[in-house]
Structure 1
Amino acid sequence: MTRHVIDKPKERHPEIRAREYVRLEREAGPHRAVTRLHARKLGARGMARLSQFLRIERGHEA
């Protein structure tokens, strides 16, 4: 049995499909791994590195 002329799937461009997937992911909220990274403690070494990066960003060089 053949299909009817109007029984064709809608043609959607790959860009539109990808954009919709990204939109759905964004609306679902941040990924679990991202929230874990934001919640973890830096520790002594991490704080030292952070302070050095901030010092360089402010323009204070050694």
Structure 2
Amino acid sequence: MSRHVIDKPRQPMSAERTRQFLNLQRAQNPDRASLMLQRRMRKRPSQTRVREYLRIDRGNLA
């Protein structure tokens, strides 16, 4: 019995094809630096205001 037309051994991925795949993946995902900026804890003005009021209330004027 002979092989079917589509029965061919799989060819390994070429380096160029892998590179293109990785470029597509990188383009879809956000940059690492922007992720770090998004996850960074933000200082809110209300937090600093309360902290300053408490500092003054404790007697630390400088």
State whether TM-score is above 0.5. no
Q: Per the shorter chain, which TM-score range?
A: 0.3 to 0.5
Name whichever structure is richer in helix by fraction.
Answer: 1
Normalising by structure 2, report the TM-score: 0.34
User: Based on CA coordinates, which of the two structures has the bigger radius of gyration?
Assistant: 2
Normalising by structure 1, report the TM-score: 0.34
